[in-house]
Amino acid sequence: MIGVFIKWAERSYFILDFDLATQTFTKKELPELNQLQKFSVNILHDGNFAGAYGVAVRALTTGKHLFITNNSLNEVLVYDLEADSTFTKAWDSDFFGKGKSYLPPKEVENSSGQIEDIIRKIKEDIVFENFFWDLSRRRFYRFASSEHFAEEKDQYGRHEPTRADVYLSVFDESLNLLAEVLIPELKATPKKHFLKDNKIWIFENIEDELAFIRLGLE
């Protein structure tokens, strides 16, 4: 059993590899992810740390490798499970460049009301979603989005999203970028989806009934 963890006090990431048979584990630090700190903003309450916003780190395995992605940089950190080594694959693409350009302040007091404006700027910049793996075609896919917001705030002081520009990136099993496209028919980032019959099936609620948007892959 293997997992990717964060130590909040230091904002550092590491892998724990558990051997269930011997009830032991090994730990591997991931200093490559330290650069993600610049995309996070600490939220303070009366001057004390109360949480943070800005970065999500996720992991996917295809067997021999663990692919660690984040929502801020156009890259993936690959951990070789057999060699116990890591390397980074990064892209500088036409749509996204190397990733986010907006850097939030390091900290903000929750009572100031600034956090909602900061969250809006983070989401207006590009946000990368999880990798997902197409075993039959030996490809990785990744959605990304940039949200648009109304100028008015709701009763809770939040900016309401009006729509999103949604993109799909396709990579081969060696992580070479094969294609990248804006999908104008999608108005919100797909959160739950799966692969079936050479299509991406995206869950959709239509008048409280379960439906699917099917995205063809050709």
Q: Which residues contact 79 (CB under 8 A, 6 or more apart)?
A: 15, 28, 65, 66, 68, 85, 86
Mean pLDDT of 127-156: 92
What's the pLDDT at 144?
A: 97
What's the pLDDT at 193?
A: 95
Residue ranges covered by each domain of the chain: 33-189
What's the pLDDT at 117?
A: 92
Radius of gyration of the chain (CA): 19
pLDDT at position 152 over 90: no
Kindly give the pairing relationship between strand 57-61 and strand 65-70. Answer: antiparallel
Cβ atoms of residues 128 and 144 within 8 Å: yes
What's the pLDDT at 54?
A: 81
Q: What mean pLDDT, rounded, does the chain reach?
A: 93
pLDDT at position 169 over 90: yes
Percent of the chain residues topping a pLDDT of 70? 100
Nearest to 191 by CA among 125, 129, 124, 128: 129
Cβ atoms of residues 183 and 167 within 8 Å: yes
Least confident of 108-112, 138-142, 152-156: 152-156
Q: What is the pLDDT of residues 100-126, one digit of tens each?
A: 999 999 999 988 889 999 999 999 999
Cβ atoms of residues 70 and 59 within 8 Å: no
What's the pLDDT at 153?
A: 82
pLDDT at position 157 over 80: no
Question: How many CB atoms neighbour CB 162 within 10 A?
Answer: 11
Mean pLDDT of 40-57: 91
pLDDT at position 9 over 80: no
pTM of the model: 0.91
Tell me, rounded to whole angstroms, the distance of Cα 215 from its chain centroid. Answer: 20
Q: Which residues contact 112 (CB under 8 A, 6 or more apart)?
A: none
What's the pLDDT at 181?
A: 96
pLDDT at position 93 over 80: yes
Nearest to 182 by CA among 94, 92, 69, 56: 94
Residue 3 banded pLDDT, cuts 50, 70, 90: very high
Percent of the chain residues topping a pLDDT of 90? 82
Cross-strand pairs, 90: 75
